């Protein structure tokens, strides 16, 4: 048989609500609670002692009121003194009330659930009560100076008998006032770190040793009553949680899974947006550079081809004159004239090319032409991506082992 002891202070909705323990709510709305058996429950608190839910003399104070009274009685001096120090340091916004301390997940009571077996096999509620009573007595004897049991409830109105027990850790602060302090309380009780050579942290703290000690103590007492207990610790296994706790745990796990998936999708989306942005920026840069280089190439080609045609025509006329029967003086003058004509044509060509280049560099013309280059480039890239995607698909299909494919058909 499994003996379980799991504990905590808060869930997704905040600190655990003690109203669940003493059934200080309308149980008609809870499917996992048998209303007809609520009267069998047993309650205990540090002010009123034992009480049976079906007793003719109802409890005067609820668990909520008991815990609030305990905090006022024991920790009010600490709260008032700390508030005074805050105000002296001009940090009034740091002031807290007892209710703030009671609701804070670091200073609120810790809740433990004790259970033997599960819905498939458990022990009578009376035996669980006897074992738990001995456990609480030993708990008080060993840890009572710094860990105080505030209240507990034996639930016999659910599928498996179990006990909810709530306690608070405390110790004197540096000013000599008693205050809720888990680690300081455990240190005062002599608990060491699991690995003293390593730094204190989430997986190396005194609370781990305390929980292991309490768990073993509960199991040892259960064994002393003749129960065959599996001594391998169960840290709140799902099959041993009460239904409400299991539902909360399941919803929490699903929420965490969805949160992780959402974060992954967001990361992939951000990466994709970044990649698209990078591609757009790259296309802008490539298109701009391509346009500017194209302008240089075009104007240079136009200049060369235009000059080549003009010079060829002038050279033909010059050859005719120089090969004619004209006198040397005429030929010399003609040669100078043709040289001047070539110079005029060259300068004219430069002016024309300058005009062309100016037109191509005009912001509106440039933006329009770059847009055309980008659009054609985008279409070209999209076509190539589609082609590569199809090639990858065909490759993947051809790589699937035939026997696996047949098995897949058989399963369907």
For 279-324, the pLDDT digits (tens) are 566 566 666 666 666 666 666 666 666 666 666 777 776 777 777 7
d(CA 333, CA 343) in angstroms, rounded, equals 16
Sign of the C-alpha dihedral computed for residues 333, 336, 341 and 344 taken in this order = negative
Q: Report if residue 213 sits inside a domain.
A: yes
Same domain? 37 vs 70? yes
Same domain? 176 vs 313? no
The token pair at 326 is: 């004209």
Q: Report if residue 249 sits inside a domain.
A: no
Calculate mean pLDDT across residues 28-42.
83
pLDDT score, position 408: 39
The token pair at 214 is: 């309490």
d(CA 271, CA 179) in angstroms, rounded, equals 49
pLDDT score, position 238: 43
Helix 243-322 × helix 328-361 angle, to 10°: 170
Same domain? 284 vs 228? no
Q: Report if residue 87 sits inside a domain.
A: yes
**Who contacts 10 (Cβ-Cβ below 8 Å, separation ≥6)?**
16, 105, 108
Q: Report if residue 407 sits inside a domain.
A: no
Residue 115: CB atoms within 10 A of its CB come to 25
CB neighbour class for 46 (10 Å; exposed up to 12, middle 13-18, buried from 19): middle
Same domain? 267 vs 158? no
Same domain? 115 vs 173? yes
pLDDT score, position 152: 94
d(CA 202, CA 59) in angstroms, rounded, equals 40
On the question of pLDDT at 57 being above 50, the answer is yes
The token pair at 26 is: 């309308």
Instruction: Report pLDDT digits (tens) over 367-408.
Output: 777 677 767 666 666 676 677 667 767 776 665 544 443 333
Same domain? 261 vs 220? no
Query: What is the count of structural domains for the chain?
Result: 2
Q: What's the half-sphere exposure (Cβ side, CA atoms, 13 Å) at 74?
A: 22
**Read out DSSP for 103-162?**
HSTTTSPEEEEEEEEETTEE--HHHHHHHHHHHHHHHHHHHTTTEEEEEEEEE-SSSS-E
Task: Give the percent of the chain with pLDDT over 70.
Answer: 71
Residue 272: CB atoms within 10 A of its CB come to 10
φ/ψ (deg, to 5) at 237: -60, 145
Same domain? 214 vs 304? no
Q: Report if residue 209 sits inside a domain.
A: yes
Residue range of the domain that includes 50: 3-240
Last residue in a domain, options 213, 240, 267? 240
Instruction: Report pLDDT digits (tens) over 158-213.
Output: 888 899 999 999 999 999 999 999 999 999 999 999 999 999 999 999 999 999 99
Q: Are strands 14-15 and 178-180 parallel, antiparallel or unpaired?
A: unpaired
Last residue in a domain, options 205, 240, 275? 240
Is residue 154 within 8 Å of 128, Cβ to Cβ?
yes
- Which has more pLDDT, 234 or 125? 125
Indicate whether this model's pTM tops 0.85: no
- Which has more pLDDT, 345 or 22? 22
Query: Rounded to the nearest 10 degrees, how much is the dihedral formed by the CA atoms of 238, 239, 240, 245?
Result: 50
Last residue in a domain, options 185, 217, 240? 240
Same domain? 184 vs 329? no
pLDDT score, position 239: 43
φ/ψ (deg, to 5) at 19: -60, -25
Same domain? 57 vs 195? yes
Same domain? 7 vs 151? yes
Q: Report if residue 349 sits inside a domain.
A: yes
Q: Report if residue 45 sits inside a domain.
A: yes
Q: For residue 411, what pLDDT band results from cuts at 50, 70 and 90?
A: very low
Same domain? 223 vs 263? no
Q: What is the CATH number of the domain that holds 127?
A: 3.30.930.30
d(CA 143, CA 334) in angstroms, rounded, equals 124
Same domain? 337 vs 226? no
Q: Report if residue 57 sits inside a domain.
A: yes
């Amino acid at each position: 048989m499994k003996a379980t002891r799991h504990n905590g202070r808060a869930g997704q909705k905040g600190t655990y609500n003690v109203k669940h323990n003493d059934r200080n709510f309308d149980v008609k709305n809870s499917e996992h609670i048998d209303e007809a058996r609520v009267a069998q429950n047993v309650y205990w608190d540090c002010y009123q002692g034992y009480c049976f839910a079906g007793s003719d003399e109802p409890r005067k104070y609820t668990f909520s009121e008991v815990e609030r009274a305990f905090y006022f009685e024991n920790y009010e001096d600490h709260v008032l003194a700390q508030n005074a120090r805050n105000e002296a340091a001009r940090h009034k916004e740091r002031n807290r009330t007892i209710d703030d301390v009671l609701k804070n997940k670091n200073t609120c009571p810790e809740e433990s659930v004790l259970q033997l077996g599960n819905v498939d096999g458990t022990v009578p509620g009376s035996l669980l009560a006897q074992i738990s009573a001995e456990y609480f007595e030993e708990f008080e004897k060993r840890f009572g100076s710094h860990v105080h049991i505030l209240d507990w409830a034996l639930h016999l109105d659910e599928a498996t008998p179990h006990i909810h027990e709530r306690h608070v850790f405390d110790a004197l602060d540096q000013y000599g006032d008693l205050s809720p302090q888990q680690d300081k309380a455990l240190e005062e009780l002599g608990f060491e770190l699991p690995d003293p050579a390593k730094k204190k942290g989430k997986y190396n703290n005194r609370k781990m040793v305390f929980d292991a000690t309490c768990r073993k103590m509960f199991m040892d007492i259960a064994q002393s009553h003749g129960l065959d207990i599996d001594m391998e610790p169960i840290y709140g296994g799902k099959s041993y949680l009460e239904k409400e706790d299991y539902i909360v745990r399941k919803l929490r796990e699903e929420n965490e899974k969805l949160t992780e998936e959402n974060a992954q999708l967001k990361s992939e989306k951000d990466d994709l947006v970044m990649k698209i942005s990078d591609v757009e920026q790259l296309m802008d840069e490539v298109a701009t550079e391509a346009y500017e280089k194209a302008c240089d190439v075009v104007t240079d080609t136009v200049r060369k081809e235009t000059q080549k045609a003009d010079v060829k025509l002038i050279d033909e006329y010059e050859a005719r004159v120089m090969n004619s029967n004209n006198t040397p003086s005429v030929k010399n003058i003609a040669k100078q004239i043709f040289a001047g004509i070539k110079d005029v044509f060259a300068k004219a060509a430069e002016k024309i090319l300058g005009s062309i280049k100016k037109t191509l560099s005009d912001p509106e013309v440039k933006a329009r032409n770059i847009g055309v280059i980008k659009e054609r480039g985008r279409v070209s890239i999209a076509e190539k991506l589609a082609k590569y995607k199809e090639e990858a698909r065909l490759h993947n299909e051809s790589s699937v082992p035939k026997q696996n494919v047949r098995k897949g058909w058989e399963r369907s």
